[in-house]
Structure 1
């Protein structure tokens, strides 16, 4: 939820006609997204506010500062990862100048980057936690990884969309479904004591 929270907001703002995008063939080589108006959800200031907004209920639920800070940091990293792949459509506070290193225009690098980041996160999670039943395996986590990979491949290579409203609704449905799937995959898993975290 934290990793996708900025895009949740973007989808909601699209439906509210507060932010805007269009599908434009050739907008980037990898995806046809012309993200020309995202002053709230995808500005650095907006992302910081979103991170704080997300961290508060996490703190209220856990009554601990550490999970709230970690959740807020995950929300914040969305902007910096987007900075690598987006074109110049990310702002600091909603206006000019706009930034983006544009790896979506170098598809091979963008695809490798996203797969490596996601794969490394799954690898760490599997090594740092254990299933609820000893030696039960990690099949649920692998199912989550497979579904995420399939969705990402569809995003990269599937048919181009043209309806922004349906795209925003689909974002909300898919992200919510992934959140429930991730909850199912991680249910009952417990952290491995630090001394047992061996990478071999």
Structure 2
């Protein structure tokens, strides 16, 4: 799951527009930002298995970012951080729910690698095993999120160009990832993933700044 996660960010922006777009974009991938850092530190583990259908990632050890209790803690931390920066309660809750949405969306696509508790049973519905439906679900979710944000902006008499720009960039990155799979080893996964997530946050920040 990649662009599908940003659907939650766009939907949250539609529901609680007082928070900047970049906060929702970072929140949508906060779990994977943490994962990238912990993979680089050697704390969480991943390997590449080319025999797997669809995604070749074997995410066999990631309890501190992708277990259910860890995601609850990440979400509460995001809520506290948002309130510390004096965002309204509605926006802060929307940010926390966006963080939590990451686990729910991963549940759809991941093979059973999401722990229900630390060291406990692992779950995952395995849509990754069916690449075409998985990609369709991601693009569909992004379309729904973008439509919700566009509807909110149009109601307020605002231009739709930020929606179109951000959605187009996300679809382009998704297509590039599909047709040009990474040729690097596991050592490149953390840095490359982190770079993409931060660039998406920077683009969202730039869109907000341009609008202001």
Aligned to 1:154: 176
Provide structure 1 residue ranges, at least 5 long, that are not aligned to the other structure. 191-200
Q: Higher helix share goes to which structure?
A: 2
1:56-97: per-residue Cα shift (whole Å, max 9, x none)? Answer: 121121352211111111101110110010001111123231
Residue 101 of structure 2 corresponds to residue 77 of structure 1:
yes
Residue 50 of structure 2 corresponds to residue 39 of structure 1:
no
Residue 14 of structure 2 corresponds to residue 14 of structure 1:
no
Pairing partner for 2:145 from 91, 111, 121: 121
Greater relative contact order (Cα 8 A, min sep 6): structure 1 or 2?
A: 2
Give yes or no for contact 2:109–2:134 (8 Å, CA) kept in 1: yes
Give yes or no for contact 2:63–2:119 (8 Å, CA) kept in 1: yes
Q: 1:34 to 1:68 in 2, by over 3 A?
A: same
Give yes or no for contact 1:6–1:47 (8 Å, CA) kept in 2: yes
1:100-158: per-residue Cα shift (whole Å, max 9, x none)? Answer: 000011122211111111111011101112599x66x4233322111111111222331
Q: CA deviation at 1:189?
A: 5.8
- State the superposition RMSD in angstroms: 2.1
**Count of paired positions:** 187
Q: CA deviation at 1:161?
A: 3.1
Moved more, 105-114 or 57-66: 57-66
- Partners of 2:70 and 2:201 lie apart in 1 by 22
Aligned ranges 1:47-196 → 2 under 5 Å: 47-130=71-154, 137-187=159-209
- Partners of 1:105 and 1:97 lie apart in 2 by 20
- Partners of 1:138 and 1:23 lie apart in 2 by 40
Aligned to 2:29: 4
Runs of 4+ displaced beyond 3 Å: 186-190
TM-score (normalizing by structure 2): 0.81
Q: Secondary structure at the match of 2:64?
A: coil
Provide structure 2 residue ranges, at least 5 long, that are not aligned to the other structure. 1-25
TM-score (normalizing by structure 1): 0.85
Give yes or no for contact 1:131–1:138 (8 Å, CA) kept in 2: no
Q: 1:63 to 1:141 in 2, by over 3 A?
A: closer
Give yes or no for contact 2:153–2:160 (8 Å, CA) kept in 1: no
Question: If you compute each CA radius of gyration, which structure gives the higher value, 1 or 2?
Answer: 1
